[in-house]
């Protein structure tokens, strides 16, 4: 199927009057039972809600049954009336008061019964964290995929210049674009296609690194993301696996930068992809198409600046040389983007690869400035942050953030990564205000979808947009500790795992009715049974009101939630993509850190960390720790992680041990009564960048 032709058709559709989309909904081929639940299940102590499709407008009785058929809970539904996202009359069930772990439960109401689900699913979210993050290894280009690591997914290395491949080790530009060639091997294939696009790389690698960085900023489980945690080859290198995976992509992005001495040096090529679309299936190693570098763009350049700047601070404790390379590339990219602020990738460049066009890069400037500022503390970058219109604008839009709108990424990091930003408190409050809006959106919708786009129509990749709004809600929880935000994330996840009008879990391998025919040239089991389905933890793009592919054309006029088909040919509703799985990874990791969703424990201590001296790369700081737990702490330790390049050499009043950025202080005052305080003096070095106080402390 020639995708280029379809894109023209898509463009025609995009300009078609909205009324064509408002025609009555076609019946969907398969929408399952009328009682819709999270098919994975619910956290034992978390919120538990379901939706019932019914013509009834008055409350109905509901029953929760165990595998033996015995009723274990019951109550009455709440009528919610007409829901525009499904164009159905619905009611909701709240069985949050049920707190007994169990498997194979079913919920009945209005004459229908849900698919079976479990209560007590933290371990499933733990598995989802690992699976969603392990999605990236078999997407890697330029490395053989080993079946011993990714069982069922073994294949030869793709695009290493071995025939019939003609890339990616020595790739020319498109005619007239440049007269040099670049080695742009490595990275991840973007999605179901095998293009590699820097703007999508940028947001994806940012979210993977942010999944890790969050472990320094909030109550989380860094051990669960450590070396050996994922299905990747780089075990035993003492580097957290999620950073190893991120590095695979960062190295590729660095290769896309225009070399010194060439025109537009420091800018970054927008993308490398096949000259023409390849058919499905397509083994990457057998792709015969010539690969081409497309012109540099300001967006790609700023995405590299942002991701590389963030990477610099995160990799410094593990590999100083790599961190230095990242920081240098980020600075060079920033300078080049400032010199060439308006080189836009055109929407028409969609032959053989996606366009990833973006005619407004003011948000990319803001994000890049934010990451450069957070990593370096330098005034020039702070000035760029403060001067950006996005710094005071509402970046928590109904349409969510993503590859095209990145200001939110900048704001989230300015709010959470410690710095001396003058209005940091305002940035933090803005995240909480944004999360409140998303919670209100959820509560207004009987499926609690964390997404109510302008105009009501769902966009391409809507599942990732739901997830990115949940990232904001989760960040508000990390900032405030207020349980309503954590409950919101759990309830928001229900929609993706089956509590929707199609009874569809959009994550392969999770839930009874899970997507497994996503559009992919590698995981094309639907077309050739010798090939695998997508790996577990792969997220489908999800309902797309615009239906840009012929496979889903029977759905034209669909209600937003129903614009989805689990068919490999429906690339506009059912693709996989690196930026969608990064959103899933972030949220799954957050949820896996929440246990069974019980009451948020009060912190055992409060810590005031003050910097006393910063002089020629040396720092002196004081941590005053007060026991706020109400009981005596015995043999306790103070733990925190630096977000910069600090390294403690000496502690007074305790012994400090630092591994990478993580510090564990064994205080001399090993017994600390309720309300008592102790003070620890810390001295060390700062390699480069700011000496920001750590963001999160624990005493256990």
Distance CA 199, CA 269 (A): 10
Distance CA 400, CA 434 (A): 11
Closest alpha carbon to 181 in 189, 198, 194, 169: 169
From the candidates 45, 118, 193, 358, give the one annotated as an active-site residue. Answer: 193
Between 373 and 405, name the residue whose CB sits nearer to ligand 9MR: 405
Instruction: State whether residue 649 is helix, strand or coil.
Output: strand
Closest alpha carbon to 67 in 117, 121, 109: 117
Identify the residue whose tokens are 């615009």: 546
Chain contacts with ligand 9MR (rule: CB under 6 A): 190-191, 193, 354-356, 460-461, 541, 575, 577
Nearest-approach distance from CB 570 to ligand 9MR, in angstroms: 11
Nearest-approach distance from CB 372 to ligand 9MR, in angstroms: 26
Distance CA 256, CA 197 (A): 10
Nearest-approach distance from CB 541 to ligand 9MR, in angstroms: 6
In the beta sheet, which residues pair with residue 257?
Answer: 268
Between 523 and 697, name the residue whose CB sits nearer to ligand 9MR: 523
Between 226 and 541, name the residue whose CB sits nearer to ligand 9MR: 541
Crossing angle of helices 198-217 and 241-255, in 10° steps, is: 150
Nearest-approach distance from CB 499 to ligand 9MR, in angstroms: 24
Burial class (CB in 10 A: 0-12, 13-18, 19+), 131: buried
**Cα 175 from chain centre:** 36
303 is catalytic: no
Nearest-approach distance from CB 155 to ligand 9MR, in angstroms: 19
Report yes or no: 130 and 230 within 8 Å, Cβ to Cβ. yes
3-state DSSP percent of the chain in helix, strand and coil, to 5: 35, 20, 45
**What number of other Cβ atoms are within 10 A of residue 355's Cβ?**
17
- Characterize the bridge pairing of strands 41-42 and 117-119: parallel
From the candidates 159, 270, 294, 519, give the one annotated as an active-site residue. Answer: 519
Region at 337 (left for phi over 0; alpha for psi -120 to 50; beta for the rest): alpha
200 is catalytic: no
Written as six digits, the tokens of 280 are 């499905």
Written as six digits, the tokens of 328 are 């240098």
Nearest-approach distance from CB 406 to ligand 9MR, in angstroms: 13
Written as six digits, the tokens of 200 are 């999508």
Between 541 and 667, name the residue whose CB sits nearer to ligand 9MR: 541
Distance CA 146, CA 200 (A): 25
CA dihedral (79, 82, 85, 90) in degrees, to 10, reads 30
Instruction: State whether residue 104 is helix, strand or coil.
Output: strand
Report yes or no: 240 and 227 within 8 Å, Cβ to Cβ. yes
Between 354 and 644, name the residue whose CB sits nearer to ligand 9MR: 354
Report yes or no: 62 and 73 within 8 Å, Cβ to Cβ. no
Q: Work out whether the CA dihedral 553, 559, 560, 565 comes out positive or negative.
A: negative
223 is catalytic: no
Nearest-approach distance from CB 539 to ligand 9MR, in angstroms: 11
Distance CA 614, CA 559 (A): 59
676 is catalytic: no
Distance CA 148, CA 394 (A): 47
Nearest-approach distance from CB 191 to ligand 9MR, in angstroms: 3
Between 354 and 511, name the residue whose CB sits nearer to ligand 9MR: 354
Between 192 and 644, name the residue whose CB sits nearer to ligand 9MR: 192
- Number of H-type helices and E-type strands within the chain: 13, 27
Nearest-approach distance from CB 261 to ligand 9MR, in angstroms: 32
The closest residue (CB) to ligand 9MR is: 354
Between 381 and 460, name the residue whose CB sits nearer to ligand 9MR: 460
Nearest-approach distance from CB 61 to ligand 9MR, in angstroms: 43
From the candidates 213, 549, 566, 593, give the one annotated as an active-site residue. Answer: 566
Between 5 and 612, name the residue whose CB sits nearer to ligand 9MR: 5
Between 403 and 477, name the residue whose CB sits nearer to ligand 9MR: 403
Closest alpha carbon to 133 in 601, 578, 613: 578
**Residues with catalytic annotation?**
193, 519, 566, 575
């Amino acid at each position: 199927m020639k995708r280029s032709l379809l894109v023209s058709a898509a463009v025609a559709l995009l300009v078609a009057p909205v009324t064509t989309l408002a025609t009555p909904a076609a019946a969907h081929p398969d929408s399952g039972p009328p009682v819709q639940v999270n098919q994975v299940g619910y956290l034992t102590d978390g919120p538990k809600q379901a939706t019932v499709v019914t013509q009834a407008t008055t409350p109905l009785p509901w029953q929760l049954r165990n595998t033996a058929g015995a009723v274990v809970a019951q109550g009455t539904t709440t009528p919610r009336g007409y829901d525009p996202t499904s164009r159905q009359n619905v009611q909701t069930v709240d069985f949050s008061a049920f707190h007994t772990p169990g498997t194979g439960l079913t919920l009945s109401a209005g004459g229908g019964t849900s698919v079976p689900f479990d209560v007590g699913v933290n371990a499933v979210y733990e598995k989802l964290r690992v699976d969603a993050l392990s999605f990236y290894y078999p997407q890697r280009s330029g490395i053989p995929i080993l079946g011993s690591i990714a069982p069922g997914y073994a294949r030869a290395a793709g695009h290493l210049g071995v025939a019939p491949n003609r890339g990616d080790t020595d790739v020319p530009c498109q005619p007239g674009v440049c007269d040099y060639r670049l080695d742009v091997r490595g990275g991840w294939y973007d999605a179901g296609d095998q293009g590699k696009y820097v703007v999508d790389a940028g947001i994806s690698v940012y979210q993977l690194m942010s999944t890790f960085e969050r472990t320094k900023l909030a109550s989380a489980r860094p051990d669960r993301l450590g070396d050996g945690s994922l299905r990747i080859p780089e075990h035993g290198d003492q580097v957290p696996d999620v950073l190893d995976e991120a590095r695979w992509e960062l190295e590729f992005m660095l290769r896309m930068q225009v070399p010194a001495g060439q025109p537009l040096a420091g800018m970054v090529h927008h993308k490398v992809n096949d000259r023409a679309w390849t058919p499905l299936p397509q083994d990457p190693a057998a792709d015969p198409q010539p690969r081409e570098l497309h012109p540099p763009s300001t967006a790609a350049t700023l995405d590299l600046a942002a991701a590389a700047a963030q990477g610099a601070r995160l990799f410094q404790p593990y590999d100083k040389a790599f961190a230095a390379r990242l920081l240098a590339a980020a600075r060079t990219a920033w300078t080049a983007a400032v010199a060439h602020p308006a080189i836009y990738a055109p929407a028409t460049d969609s032959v053989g690869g996606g366009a990833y066009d973006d005619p407004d890069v003011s948000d990319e400037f803001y994000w890049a400035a934010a990451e450069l500022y957070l990593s370096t503390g330098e005034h020039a970058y702070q000035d760029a942050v403060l001067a950006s219109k996005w710094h005071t604008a509402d970046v928590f839009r109904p349409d969510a953030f993503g590859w095209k709108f990145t200001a939110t990424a900048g704001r989230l990091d300015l709010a959470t990564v410690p710095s001396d930003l003058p209005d940091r408190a305002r940035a933090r409050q803005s995240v909480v205000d944004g999360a409140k809006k998303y919670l209100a959106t959820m509560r207004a919708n009987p499926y609690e979808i964390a997404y109510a786009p302008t105009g009501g129509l769902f966009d391409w990749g809507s599942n990732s947009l739901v997830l990115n709004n949940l990232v904001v809600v989760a960040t508000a929880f990390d900032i405030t500790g207020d349980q309503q935000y954590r409950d919101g994330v759990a309830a928001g996840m229900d929609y993706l795992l089956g509590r929707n009008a199609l009874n569809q879990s959009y994550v392969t391998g999770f839930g009874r009715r899970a997507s497994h025919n996503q559009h992919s040239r590698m995981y094309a089991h639907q077309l050739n049974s010798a090939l695998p389905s997508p790996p577990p933890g792969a997220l489908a793009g999800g309902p797309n009101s615009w239906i840009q592919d012929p496979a889903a054309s029977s759905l034209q006029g669909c209600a937003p939630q129903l614009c989805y088909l689990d068919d490999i040919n429906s690339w506009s509703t059912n693709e996989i993509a690196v930026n969608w799985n990064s959103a899933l990874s972030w949220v799954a990791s957050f949820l896996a850190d929440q246990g069974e969703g019980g009451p948020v424990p009060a912190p055992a201590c409060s810590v005031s960390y003050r910097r006393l001296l910063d002089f020629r790369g040396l720092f002196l700081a004081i941590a005053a720790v007060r026991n706020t737990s109400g009981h005596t702490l015995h043999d306790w330790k103070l733990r925190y992680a630096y977000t910069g390049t600090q390294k403690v050499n000496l502690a007074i009043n305790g012994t400090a041990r630092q591994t990478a950025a993580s510090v564990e202080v064994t205080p001399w005052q090993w017994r600390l009564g309720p309300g008592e305080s102790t003070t620890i003096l810390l001295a060390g070095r700062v390699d480069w960048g700011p000496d920001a106080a750590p963001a999160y402390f624990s005493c256990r």
